């Protein structure tokens, strides 16, 4: 069955740069530009074929001319206009398909679907956080750049198959320079942030996939901490585990389709597969990473429960009972002479104190490194 695109509005909204990028990625060569029309050439079955692309959407006959291009591509590629149109629309987009096994009915409960969509967002956000800066764990405050990226990711219409979540990640138009002969990869820092996020999602997933097996064999999840620089973090592991645990437990796969206008020039997996039995290892890895990850800019607030010093003129150690990971924990920090004296007064008067620093778990206790902005509530 072949579906033809006749909607003038849909045709008029297809930008010229998407059409030209598609043609270039499919072996067409630009021969000339005349009167704001690009002429592309390709040899098909021994014959020379030309395709002219209007370079301005303001042309009155733009929809008709795009329709003619679709007609020609349909004959040349032996594919439906609908399939070609979808590829054209996604020329400047990277696509992620997350497939979850569902019962034979092909349906999941509304609550379960809501959790799966939420976990999908958390997975992409975890990759975006690591693309911005490498950390083992990102608590409640996420990098603004990562949050802004997630806002621009689109949820596409469902596709046939299992329960499939299709994500479209728009890319800026590519006007890339030609690379010198022999250079086959693009430095990660030269990629747009949108592409870097999904490269991180893919490479971190590949490492997580192999780490699950190794951790199972060793009986230890320490391997996960060795790959924080590659994008592995506790948030990523938690999001994956949530998707695998939901309902009766689901196997899932994550597939990647990269933009034709910006080909991926380094080895990345095209698909990742996880079993519902992996969830237990992922949860353990997430806990392990959280416990050992410094939490930058942590704001500790609570009452002082212990003071220790050998010399008031130097300062001493202060222990505060405050909220850490939704539970009251005792956290220690070192205070200079002035702050220590203020801490003594706050303890005597049972006042709430606050201090900021990098929270680190050391064994079974917590410590705040580089304490600053110590204050006592009125």
- Strands 365-376 and 327-336 come out as parallel
Neighbour-count burial of 377, counting CB atoms closer than 10 A to its CB (0-12 exposed, 13-18 middle, 19+ buried): exposed
Along the 378 residues of the chain, how does pLDDT read in single tens digits? 455 676 788 888 888 988 998 898 889 999 999 999 999 999 998 889 999 999 999 999 999 999 999 999 999 999 888 888 888 888 889 999 998 887 666 677 888 889 999 999 999 999 999 999 998 999 878 999 999 999 999 998 776 656 788 999 998 876 554 443 333 344 445 789 999 999 999 999 999 999 999 999 999 999 999 999 999 999 999 999 999 998 777 899 999 999 878 888 788 999 999 999 999 999 999 999 988 777 778 899 999 999 999 999 999 999 999 998 788 999 999 999 999 999 999 999 999 999 999 888 877 789 999 999 999 998
State both tokens at 315.
Answer: 């300062």
- Asked whether the beta carbons of 161 and 91 are under 8 A apart, the reply is no
Which residues are paired to 332 by β-bridges?
319, 367
Measured between alpha carbons, how far is 170 from 191 in angstroms, rounded to an integer? 13
How many C-beta neighbours within 10 Å does residue 227 have? 19
- Asked whether the beta carbons of 52 and 61 are under 8 A apart, the reply is no
DSSP secondary-structure letter at 55? S
Only one residue has tokens 């009452």, namely: 303
Q: What are phi and psi of 309, to 5 degrees?
A: -160, 150
pLDDT tens-place string over residues 206-242 = 999 999 999 999 999 999 999 999 999 999 999 999 9
How many C-beta neighbours within 10 Å does residue 301 have? 14
295-376 CATH: 2.40.50.140
DSSP 154-180: EEPPP-SSSEEEEEEEE-PPP-PPPPP
- Asked whether the beta carbons of 353 and 378 are under 8 A apart, the reply is no
Query: Taking the domains of the chain in order of start, what are their residue ranges?
Result: 8-89, 94-172+189-292, 295-376
Length of the chain: 378
């Amino acid at each position: 069955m072949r579906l033809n695109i006749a909607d003038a509005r849909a045709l008029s909204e297809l930008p010229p740069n998407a059409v030209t990028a598609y043609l270039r990625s499919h072996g067409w060569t630009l021969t000339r530009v005349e009167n704001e029309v690009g002429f592309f050439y390709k040899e098909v079955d021994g014959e020379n074929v030309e395709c002219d692309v209007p370079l301005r959407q303001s042309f009155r006959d733009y929809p008709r001319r795009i329709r003619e291009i679709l007609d020609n591509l349909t004959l040349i590629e032996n594919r439906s206009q609908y399939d070609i149109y979808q590829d054209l629309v996604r020329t400047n987009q990277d696509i992620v398909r997350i497939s979850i096994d569902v019962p034979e009915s092909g349906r999941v409960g509304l609550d379960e679907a809501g959790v799966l969509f939420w976990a999908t967002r958390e997975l992409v956000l975890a990759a975006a956080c690591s693309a911005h800066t490498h950390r083992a764990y990102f608590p409640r405050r996420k990098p603004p750049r990562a949050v802004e990226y997630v806002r621009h990711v689109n949820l596409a219409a469902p596709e046939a198959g299992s329960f499939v979540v299709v994500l479209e990640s728009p890319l800026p138009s590519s006007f890339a320079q030609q690379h010198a002969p022999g250079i086959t990869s693009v430095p990660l820092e030269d990629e747009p942030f949108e592409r870097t996020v999904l490269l991180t999602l893919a490479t971190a997933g590949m490492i997580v996939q192999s780490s699950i097996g190794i951790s199972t064999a060793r009986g230890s999840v320490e391997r996960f901490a060795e790959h924080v620089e590659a994008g592995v973090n506790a948030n990523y592991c938690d999001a994956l585990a949530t998707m695998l645990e939901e309902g009766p437990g689901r196997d899932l796969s994550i597939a990647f389709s990269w933009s034709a206008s910006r080909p991926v020039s380094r080895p990345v997996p095209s698909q990742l597969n996880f079993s519902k039995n992996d969830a237990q290892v992922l949860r353990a890895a997430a806990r392990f990473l959280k416990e050992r990850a410094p939490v930058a800019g942590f704001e500790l607030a609570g009452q002082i429960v212990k003071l220790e010093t050998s010399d008031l003129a130097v300062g001493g150690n202060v222990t505060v009972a405050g909220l850490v990971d939704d539970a009251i924990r005792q956290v220690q920090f070192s205070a200079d002479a002035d702050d220590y004296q203020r801490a003594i007064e706050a303890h005597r008067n049972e006042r709430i104190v606050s201090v900021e620093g990098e929270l680190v778990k050391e064994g079974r206790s917590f410590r705040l490194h580089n304490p600053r902005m110590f204050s006592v509530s009125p």
